[in-house]
Chains A and B, each alone.
Chain A
């Protein structure tokens, strides 16, 4: 028996002394391999009597199990150590930058239009469009601006060669021709907004020859100026995210509306800084009015039955006011530093569920 005890302590010390996995494997082979010492003793049992063999077998099996368990335990420890060494060796400098990826951005004009559309969509408006090269009828005549009308001269119009029928072709000076197209194509009630590019021959610090407007047109049987005010009030408060933002109407003149009003929103200019809100001062954001009976007539609508309102606003101006962009001309320079700074992340699609303030 003492020889087995000696063997056991010998083998266990071999196992515990194995400093790495190959050494442990060597110990296993020495103990349990084909020519291992326990395996050898098992073979020697053939010479024993059945009773002796039984007893000897139990002893050897117990020894074998104990050694095998010790090997497994040791293997676990060594594997853990080996993994720790590998992980230590695999260490990298995580302060290094990730692989370069370009960050795209949405232009403030697109974002602003999308915000405006989100608000008016909730009020039941749909988006209408029209071409940017227009005939004089849609751009002027139908809007109650006959040739020689002083308002026509005030528009600083870009002209293209005349159409084959001799009428002028122009770059639309406002989005209002979309009103005409809509009324000519659809039966009332009508509720549309029309954002888009517009053009006037003017280029200085506050004017660019191309800019964007959004037009709204609502036609029904009982649409009145109070609805115009209500719509603009709701819009302005939602767009700027100011719950008590006041809206003021100032009588004005546009050939295509009667009565006509300019739209002011409340602001403060104290200390040379513009701040929107209910502060007593006023800032103009657009023109509006009740659609002129002649415009309705020009579009084949009976003005004794149909009436409604229209308004227009400059998109860039709205974007500048909301997002604090100082210079109109920079909108069109495609300077990538500007686009990255003032642009919006692409998945930030404006909708009322998420809110419109960025």
Chain B
């Protein structure tokens, strides 16, 4: 009997091991198999119970692993190393099954919590689920981001996760649409399939999909590493923000049939960005998502994508580093205007007849611009300031300020200090007052705020 046929069934007990203090893997009890959650070419994922809590067990088809011993060794190393930066965005391997009990092995990780959707299903907007009962039709389930803010937040979270991973000298290797989950309401991200993660430069036989994979891998001349991860990351971000593929334009569509040779050409030997400024041969079809949304995307994002898919498509070192993406995307998030009329979109969809004033095309509302550090943010009711704006840190999650109406006179809007530090601001009467945590300063044309540590903001006009 082939090893790859070893499957588990409900009720099976599988021994697992965890690293002890001396680094050696030692017995850590058993997991109880409850049910199969899904299967793919690499193996099966089971729901299991361990010490009273449910986990996921990924169980490999041994024969399909190209270098099983090296693969297991790498997995053990990842378990020992733990999550990069202690980042809880990774569904990281936590324990490995004992070597002798079964002819194959697997690893234990947390289950994906309720509400998280695989990226490629969210990208497509729906999925068809197999019928639960025989003779019944399949069930279509639709998905959608809760808000534009959640969409951009998700992209920031993805970048953050890969920055942590690359920061500890590892690469993900097989970045594709099935590799991570997104909460469409909050934009929270979970990176799964971390079993292929390997020290930069090493590879245990993981390939990938053209389209997501860097052209040099498709061509066969490179193996996955941090730089190829970076290409895949740009593809993911492009797909997320534009809901289209960066290479699927006229030239590719003219092929009609995507044979292996055509895939090699379009995604490997002669890839061409749909918005390549020097070569219009692969422009997207008119009316499609790419054609519609590209002009609306703020210019710094367009420039970043253009660089990723022109210079960066040939020269891996030209690809945008995660830190830079993070800055662009944080800026993009603050470029989303929530107008009082209900319109929510990027500031580029507002008129800019006057410098630094955005005028809503639906209701005529004028929105001033707040400059913080080197960033411009439209000042609308509900705008949130994050710690990375008001302090010299990279925390883009903790809210330190918000634009709110005054409780006593809702016609007056102000910036409320939600941080733990005392700010200073210039008031309309010319006085400079301290803004303690919980306090606020009214927004007016001459507003200047000092957040401390030489970080300031002012209203531009």
A, B co-complexed:
no
Question: Which residues of B does A touch, CB under 8 Å?
Answer: none
